[in-house]
Structure formats: C-alpha cells, structure tokens
Amino acid sequence: MASLGEPFIVGDLMVPNRIVMAPMTRTASPGGVPGPDVAEYYARRAANMVGLIITEGTYVNRAAAGAYENVPHFHGERALAGWAHVLRRVHEAGGRIIPQLWHTGVVRTATDPPAEGPSGLGLDGAPAGKAMTQQDIDETVAAFAEAAAAAERLGFDGVELHGAHGYLIDSFLWKSINRRADHYGGDPASRARFGADIVRAVRAAVSPGFPVFFRLSQWKLNAYEARIAENPDELAQMLSPLADAGVDVFHASTRRYWLPEFDGSALNLAGWVRKLSGKATVTVGSIGLDNQYGEGEFTQGFTRQAGVTGIDELVARLERDEFDLVALGRTLLANPDWAALALRGELARSVPYDPAVLTTLA
C-alpha cells in the first residue's frame, strides 16, 4: 500500500497520503449550524489518518440554494462559528479539511423562492422552477466567491465546488436541460461558462496557493445514464474553460471506479479528466466494497449492506497515474479507521457496510 501513503501537494496544501473522505450529506446540522457531534465525526476520520476530508455539501448564501433540511450552511455567524470548531478539531487531530460549496439548483422542490436553473427545467426535462437571469447568475457567482473567502479566512485548507449530480452548476453542463440561447448554452465550452465564472470568482477571492477542487459527474440523481460528454472531445471542450479559470483538482464522481468511461480505453472518468485537462484528479466509487445494488438505483448503495472487497485494482491504477487521490464514502462510514488500516496493511480487519451507521454520526 506504499503508493496510498505518498504525500500529495497542490498549491499550499500538503496532503500526507492519497486517501480522501468523500462528501456525504448527513442532515445533522439543525438550522444549518454544524455542532460538536459533526466536529467529532470528522475529527475521528482525521485521527485515523484520512489524508483529506471533503465536507458534506454546504449551502452558499443564496435563498434558493437549499433543497434539504438540516444541511449545514457556509454563511452566517452561527454556521461559520460551527465550522470554525469543526476545523479546529480536525486540525488538532492532524487532518486537512475543505468544505464543499453547494447550490442544489433544480432539485429544490420548495416554491418560495422557486428552484433556479439554466432553463426552468427539472432533471426529468419537465418545467420546474425558473430560468436564471443574468442578475441571478451574477449574485450566485458572488455567493460562491463569498463562501470561498470565508473558508480561507477561517483557516480551511481549500474548497470544493459541487458541480455534479444534477445540482446547479452541473445543470448548466448538461445539454438535456440547458436550453439557453445566450453564452451559457450551446456547445460544451459554452455550457461550462457558468461553472468557469464561479471558479474565476472564487480564484479571485482567495490567495493563489489556496486549492480549488471541482466535483463533476456524468450521472445525475435518478438519471444514472445521463452524460454531460458523449466522447473525450466533448469532455475536453468542457474541461478547458474550467481548468483555465483556475481549477486545481477535479473530483470525478462515478458509481464504480473500475468501469471505463469511453469505448476503446480502460480509463475511468478521473483518468480521462486527468489526461485531457492536465490537472490532478480524485477518483471515487465503491472503493473497498462490493456492489450488489442494481444498475438503476444509486441510493440502494446506502440502504443495503455491502461486503468488503480488496483494493488491488485501485492501487494498480493509482500507481499507473490514472488519478492522484482516492475518495471513499460508505467505506469510511462503516470504518472510521479504514485509512489507518489500509496504510498499515491491515484491511482484513475492516468491516462491511451496514446502513445502520446512517442513524448516527459515528
């Protein structure tokens, strides 16, 4: 497991190993304020040698950003004070941590204010919410930049922008629901402009060495065969403006890390993104667990038990430089000490995933 234990450097951030905690919404922050239990939940993973923690999605300061109750905010005095305590505990435990900044976009079902997206269409293509005006876009871009500046001010080690799974930034990337006729719609590079504007504003709001991660995916909530890019050329067109705007690391979300992304190559999505963008990447998707849930239902992965599997293929791909970091979700819920076990060569002691772990912040 030596390759997993190698340090990784991006900007001013030195991650002591290649193991990342993936962002997972836990809805355990009443009123949007993360409490001491949230702090200990993250600190427990940091103390067990997780190299980098990416927090659950946190809402930026935009009225339409939220879709779910008890999700933490990344704005306001009380919420930021809560995050300051989380940060302090993680750093005391020897970890590094970055918040994921989030606007849920067309997934929002509340009507006051309504959901907002590129074209007033939901993920199913039916009318939903409102199409964003230029003023809406400008204000949202500013909200992301404000949150990133707050993260650096508090002492976080970087930020991640949530540009995946059908949420706001991703909805602009997806041709199926981005029907705009202005410069935010059309070809892949134009559809990436909204995300690039956010990245550029974030980059301007933080210091040059403060790392900016960007999470992207092909699949969406309840649209698992969706694709923002049908081939490597389309993906390259989309990545270029994001990379030029200042993304340091792309976090490529897949459901199964071992599956090839395009015909004719064994590279997964993180591998293709790394090859095409020249930027470092994070891979994720059922690492360390078997995958018994069906092709059509991602949430079954969280509501059903999953057995333990080896990571030989993962390590081989890491050693071939297909990607730079590896993120785990369910595995780290079931095994807060998974990173320590992996780095000591003791993964035989890891336990299967049981959905009962979702009932507490263990």
> Mind telling me the catalytic residues?
167
CA-closest candidate to residue 110, choices 65, 60, 70 = 65
- For 349, the token pair is 């002691």
Task: Determine what percent of the chain falls in helix, strand and coil, rounding each to the nearest 5.
Answer: 40, 20, 45
On whether the CB atoms of residues 117 and 171 are closer than 8 A, the answer is: yes
Q: How far apart are CA 303 and CA 37, in angstroms?
A: 22
Give 160's strand partners: 100, 213
Q: How far apart are CA 109 and CA 327, in angstroms?
A: 30
Where do the DSSP E strands lie in the chain? 8-10, 13-15, 19-21, 52-59, 97-102, 116-117, 130-131, 159-165, 212-220, 249-253, 280-284, 325-328
Question: SS3 for 133?
Answer: coil
Give 216's strand partners: 163, 252
How large is the angle between the packed helices 77-92 and 36-47, nearest 10 degrees? 30
Map tokens 């590129």 to a residue. 118
Q: 138 Cβ partners below 8 Å, 6+ apart?
A: none
